[in-house]
Amino acid sequence: MSIVENFDLYAPRLIDKGEYFSVGHTGCAGCGEALATRLVLKGLGKDTIVSNATGCLEIISSRYPTTAWEIPWIHVAFENAAAVAAGVEAGLKALRRKGRIPDRDVKSVSMAGDGGTADIGLQALSGAMERGHDMIHVCFDNEAYMNTGIQRSSQTPFGAWSTTSPPGEVSFGQRTWKKNIPEIIVAHNIAYVSTANPSYPLDLIRKVEKARKLKGPSYIHCLSVCPTGWRMDSSLTIKMGRLALETGIFPLYEVENGKYRITVDMPEPLRPVDDYLKLQGRFRHLTPDKIEEMQARVNLEHKKLMNKVEQLQSWKDLD
């Protein structure tokens, strides 16, 4: 894809200089989630109310009596972030209708980790998306239940070590493949679903801004590199995010009214998955046959995605 085709992505533009996620949070060195949150909030702006499920993000941002949040923020349970954000949106609408608050465009946004989104929070999220609330859900996917001690989730990659998927004589680590949450949300027929990655900050901010402008539910699935849980050098966070894209492990795309579009090009051919795996201790035990299995799966998923990019039309074009 050329720069001309992607003008809105590459054109010089002003980024909100405001900081809505302040320094002094207690994230680990190299925390990809903290960086992603800072960028997401730049895309959202100050007229935002965040409902944040329990998890790393809440823990690192709200150590009593301090807060890293420069906007209204509600800490909610592990399972109900999207339900609370839906309630906030409905409440704002009612108060506006009654003239009790100014008629201002305030966005309700739920944020949760992969456990709070893909596992225990999925029911609340599905309901909120299906009911059509004017809100965004952002999943910060660090691929395990990190804040409680690196337990596996449905987003932990095949073969990865975690404290509840330990490799050993009878196990090679996580036995399952990542559940495809963006695809599950696409099936709700909402107007906007995308993947994001703070190693590509302009792409991330542009996607958040797009979701912010839409009326109705949107979903953003954001890769959050976690040096602590991934057993990697904390100076490699940005590089690891880039490798996730270059190997095709975490492609960046958006689905607008059913139409798929790649937003950051991947190399052709893709880099071998081993370039990504070998820098992370959680994959250290993998044998060549397991790495081959992963490569084959990544190749297949890449083909499935590219097929959708080529085949699927926007619903608007089908009218």
Ligand X SMILES: Cc1ncc(C[n+]2csc(CCOP(=O)(O)OP(=O)(O)O)c2C)c(N)n1
Residues that bind ligand X (CB under 6 A): 54-57, 78-79, 112-116, 142, 145-148, 153
Closer residue to ligand X, CB minimum distance, 48 or 147: 147
Q: Report the nearest approach of ligand X to the CB of residue 100 (Å).
A: 33
Comparing every residue's Cβ against ligand X, the nearest one is: 113
Closer residue to ligand X, CB minimum distance, 153 or 237: 153
On whether the CB atoms of residues 249 and 223 are closer than 8 A, the answer is no
Half-sphere exposure of 224 (CA within 13 A, CB side): 33
Tokens standing for residue 38:
């800072």
CA distance 99 to 108: 19
Closer residue to ligand X, CB minimum distance, 113 or 182: 113
Task: Give the sign of the dihedral formed by CA 77, CA 33, CA 11, CA 17.
Answer: positive
* Nearest CA among 296, 5, 302, 33 for reference residue 159: 296
**How far are the Cα atoms of 8, 54, 142, 214 from residue 117, in angstroms, in the given order?**
29, 11, 12, 21
Q: Report the nearest approach of ligand X to the CB of residue 113 (Å).
A: 2
Q: Report the nearest approach of ligand X to the CB of residue 185 (Å).
A: 16
Q: Report the nearest approach of ligand X to the CB of residue 118 (Å).
A: 8
CA distance 93 to 106: 10
Closer residue to ligand X, CB minimum distance, 115 or 251: 115
On whether the CB atoms of residues 252 and 306 are closer than 8 A, the answer is no
Q: Report the nearest approach of ligand X to the CB of residue 271 (Å).
A: 26
Closer residue to ligand X, CB minimum distance, 108 or 142: 142
Strand partners, 76: 53
Closer residue to ligand X, CB minimum distance, 222 or 243: 222
Q: Report the nearest approach of ligand X to the CB of residue 141 (Å).
A: 8
Closer residue to ligand X, CB minimum distance, 57 or 136: 57
Strand runs labelled E in the chain: 48-53, 73-76, 107-113, 135-141, 192-196, 218-223, 253-256, 259-262
CA distance 208 to 260: 17
Q: Report the nearest approach of ligand X to the CB of residue 81 (Å).
A: 9
CA distance 12 to 210: 17
